[in-house]
Structure 1
């Protein structure tokens, strides 16, 4: 990846629906050259998909978006946790992280009771020893990737 790829990624993070023509104009490439770079990054796994991010305040109160810091039990493996988490309803992202916790889990729950059920299942079925949950109040825009 070079500086131009990083610039393209930053623009796509802000607006994944931008046309290749407009993307090319913003980075100084033709529409075809911009499209080729995006296709290459998708093929190479740099871009793994496109996501719709919904502001919790904008969806009419249709549930909670939560971030759960997870610490695994000593007998749990990363592989077993990731497999178990993938089977649990409401989990939208699982990220292995550094620091005090092992994973950061992003999830959606209909209400506090559904969140409680999800947390109980994480502890009972996925090998979680400890969790700390934060509730999203609203979404903020993501900054573009810094230049290389």
Structure 2
């Protein structure tokens, strides 16, 4: 297993139903190359089945779960930003929002150094002018208003 395989596993743990096309975009491969890697990992027993983790506390990958409020530079458009973050490791979701910021980005970082690297890349590669980062400490409520499970990180 190499770095790309590990990255693919992390993405599949977040969204087991992701298309090979989207998976390939996220890791910088073609859909066919991403599919080949997944098939090889299944054949080798690295992947035994597909399930999306719903409980953040059950996520065994460790590291930091972070939420990053992002304000784009004036010369950066939404499409450009979204294409750029698809290539960055650890980002699991980006939501375009109203209010003081343009996006809320959910990401995983192995440690503070990896988080620092991600924040620097957001600014240099994705057109981010300003960011505010929050680190998740724990999930205090595992159900929504009607007891529904929270969406995966």
State the TM-score bracket (shorter-chain normalisation). Answer: 0.5 to 0.7
Match of 1:75 in 2: 75
1:55 aligns with 2:52: no
The number of aligned residues is 96
TM-score (norm 2): 0.57
Q: Contact 2:95–2:104 at 8 Å: present in 1 too?
A: yes
Q: Per the alignment, in what secondary structure is the counterpart of residue 65 of structure 1?
A: strand
Runs of 4+ off more than 2 Å:
53-56, 58-61
Structure 1 residues 115-130: aligned runs within 5 Å: 115-130=115-130
The structural deviation recorded for 1:133 is 0.2
Q: Which residue of 2 aligns with 1:29?
A: none
Cα distance per residue 1:46-87 (max 9 Å; x no partner):
xxxx8423435x556820000000000000000000010111
**Counterpart in 1 of 2:142?**
141
Q: Rg larger in 1 or in 2?
A: 1
Greater RCO, 1 or 2 (C-alpha within 8 Å, sep 6+): 1
RMSD over aligned CA atoms reads 2.2
1:104-133 Cα deviation digits (max 9, x unpaired) = 000000000000000000000000000000
Structure 1 regions of 5+ residues with no counterpart?
1-49
SS at match of 1:119: helix
Q: Is the 8 A contact 2:69 2:104 kept in 1?
A: yes
Query: Relative to 1, partners in 2 of residues 1:86 and 1:61: Cα closer, same or farther, differing over 3 Å?
Result: closer
What secondary structure is seen at the aligned counterpart in 2 of 1:87?
coil
